[in-house]
Amino acid sequence: MEVTKSPQGKQPLTKSQCNKKLLAIKDAMDLLEGKWKIHILAVLCDSPMRYSDILREVDGISGKMLSRQLKEMELNKLVTRNVINTQPLVVEYQLTDYGLSFRDVLAQLALWGERHREHILKNQE
């Protein structure tokens, strides 16, 4: 049985365990592919938002792309689309409980990004 060294002195992973983890990472990356989904998730973390508010908050995204991304995220059960029966109709998007489970991942990703930026800037000096 081939063994791969694990970081930080943890029990080494077998090749099979490593492959299983890589498959899980690939699944997550497929779900979040593109440059907009993580930003949309981050914008929706605090509260439901109207489509126009999301469009304003996600700098650089087109309306067509936002619609496409929201539909994909809805299919993957990350967001829900709520139509509020007012005059005129109001449509809000919010994270599902499943989508909210991404908050911790997003916080860790932001923390790593900050450390990476510091590392790059430090090495440029």
The full set of domain ranges for the chain reads 1-31, 35-124
Buried b (16+ CB within 10 A) or exposed e, 46-80: eeebebeebbeebeebeeeebeebbebbeeeebbe
**What does the pLDDT read at residue 79?**
97
- Range 81-89 average pLDDT: 93
The matching CATH number, chosen from 1.10.10.10, 3.40.190.10, 3.40.50.720, 2.40.30.10, for 35-124 is 1.10.10.10
CA–CA gap between residue 33 and residue 120 (Å, rounded): 25
**C-alpha–C-alpha distance, residues 40 and 23, integer Å:** 24
Give the up-direction half-sphere exposure of residue 75: CA atoms within 13 A in the CB hemisphere.
8
Percentage of the chain lying above the pLDDT 70 cut: 93
Residue 91: its pLDDT value, please? 93
Give the pLDDT band of residue 34 (cuts 50, 70, 90): confident
Using DSSP's 3-state secondary structure scheme, residue 5 falls into coil
pLDDT at 29: 86
CA distance 40 to 38: 5
Residue that wins the pLDDT comparison between 20 and 4: 20
Output the pLDDT for position 8.
59
Mean pLDDT of the chain: 89
Q: When comparing pLDDT for 122 and 56, which is higher?
A: 56
**Would you state the pLDDT for residue 124?**
85
Output the six-digit token pair for 47: 């509260």
Residues sharing a CB contact under 8 Å with residue 24, sequence separation 6 or more, in sequence order: none
pLDDT of residue 56: 96
Residue-level pLDDT at 32: 86
